[in-house]
Amino acid sequence: MKDDGKTKAQLIHEIAELRKRYAILEITASDRKRLETEIQDAREYAENIVETVREPLVVMNSDLKILTANHSFYNTFKVTPEATIGNFIYDLGNRQWDIPKLRVLFEDILPLETVFNGYEVEHDFPGIGRKIIRLNAREISRKDIGSRVILLAMEDITGRKLAEERIGEVIRQQQAILDNIPNIAWLKDRYGRYVAVNEPFGKAFGVAPKDMVGKNDYDIYPRELAVKYEKDFREVMATGTRTYFEESMVDREGKVQYVEKIETPIFNDTGVVIGIIGSAHDITSRKEVEVTLRHESTHDILTGLYNRAFFDEELARLAHGRMFPISIVMADINGLKPVNDVQGHEAGDNLIRMAARIILGAFRAEDIVARIGGDEFAVLLPGTDERVAEESVKRVMSCPEIINGLVSIAFGIASAGNKDQLAGALKLSDERMYRHKSDKRKLPAEGKSS
């Protein structure tokens, strides 16, 4: 029996082959369907991850076509999914992403490095303006399926960059202002750290102004000074009021300087103190003048002893104190007028200076020795009874100048046990001094008659 030229055996073989092919096709289709399902599940999983990222993020294939993007990308760059998915990255938004630096990243850098972070791109995007974008790119390969995708995360750092630039401008302005202040000047933040200092500050401490930034008082001063300065700083921060300080300091050459410090609080828009600006003005010359004026107002020019005004002030002060008993010694130079008349006032002045030196040397440092008149002296001895005062007078009387007759001095001593006796003691010491002076005058006449 013949058919179309094929034997029965051939037909059976062909049928068997067809069955095998069908089985292979069935297996291949099943695998393809399973693979497509896995890919779809993986894509949905990836898209869910992409959507959880706060910053704009896109996923591209090896041809740089967009596979997916998150809502942050669409919101930031004002584009739609329809105009994004499946499109070439450079073609997005009328080719607004065709940025030379972006091409460098994808075509030159990423092929050599599968991960790249912190790549900054500045570009003028139509519709949203000029932006500074920090890009983090990562290439992910699946060798089992021969797939390669690129994750591109974008961080809009425009605001941060502008803020940094503004801060930089403010710091430069602050530095310029400080550098134009001739005195030492500085800025501190709310934590007491130096934000900026000027050139005079740097010269005073032998450091460059930029090296002071971030340091505090403990980094540059001895601890005891740092504690004081921190306390001053905290006072200004707490009260919010400008504060003046006067203090002495030793410069790098060991010289004592007097400075006037002014610390002024800096407020933010809500009235909170956020730091201080301080300045220190050298007032050494003024202090020296004040010391000189103070000395001149309280001391006798000829002898250097305290003057009558200071003696009276101390007498009044001691009257209200607890330094009793108080002894008073009055003294007067004998024979000053003849010296002035015969030898001249210069010789008389020398005699006064000699007497002042002798009297001052016989008393303690805490005693008040004053010249209260032309040839009169007075001494206040706080916490001293009459016996101790007499010992001091004996020291005067035993000095070589008096023994050798170069100078003659009359003394009167009295003591007060309380405030009410002080005026009487002053009067009594004066009377005793004049009695001693009178006795001194009688001695030459008595000697002559003998």
| Model confidence pLDDT, tens digit, residues 332-354 | 999 999 999 999 999 999 999 99
Regarding whether 313 and 208 lie in a shared domain, the answer is: no
CA distance 147 to 432: 122
**What does the alpha-carbon distance between residue 28 and residue 15 come to, in Å, rounded to a whole number?**
20
Mean pLDDT of 395-412: 94
Q: Could you tell me if 281 and 329 lie in one domain?
A: no
Residue 203 in any domain: the answer is yes
Rg (the chain; Cα; Å): 50
* Amino acid code (one letter) for 285: S
Nearest to 42 by CA among 68, 20, 65, 64: 68
Identify the residue with better confidence: 83 or 39.
83
Do residues 409 and 445 both lie within one domain? yes
171 and 200 belong to one structural domain: yes
Question: Who wins on pLDDT, 368 or 3?
Answer: 368
For residue 1, what pLDDT is reported? 44
CATH number of the domain within which 100 lies: 3.30.450.20
The mean pLDDT value of the chain amounts to 83
Residues 438, 327 share a domain? yes
- Give the C-alpha separation, 301 to 110, whole Å: 90
Specify if 48 maps to a domain. no
Task: Tell me if 123 is assigned to some domain.
Answer: yes
Same domain, 172 and 150: no
Domain co-membership, 433 together with 306: yes
Counting the structural domains of the chain, the total is 4
Please give the residue range of the domain that contains residue 77: 53-156
Instruction: List the single range of 20-24, 123-127, 313-317 with lowest mean pLDDT.
Output: 20-24
Query: Which tokens belong to 380?
Result: 């206040």
Amino acid in the structure at residue 144: D
Query: Are both 200 and 256 inside the same structural domain?
Result: yes
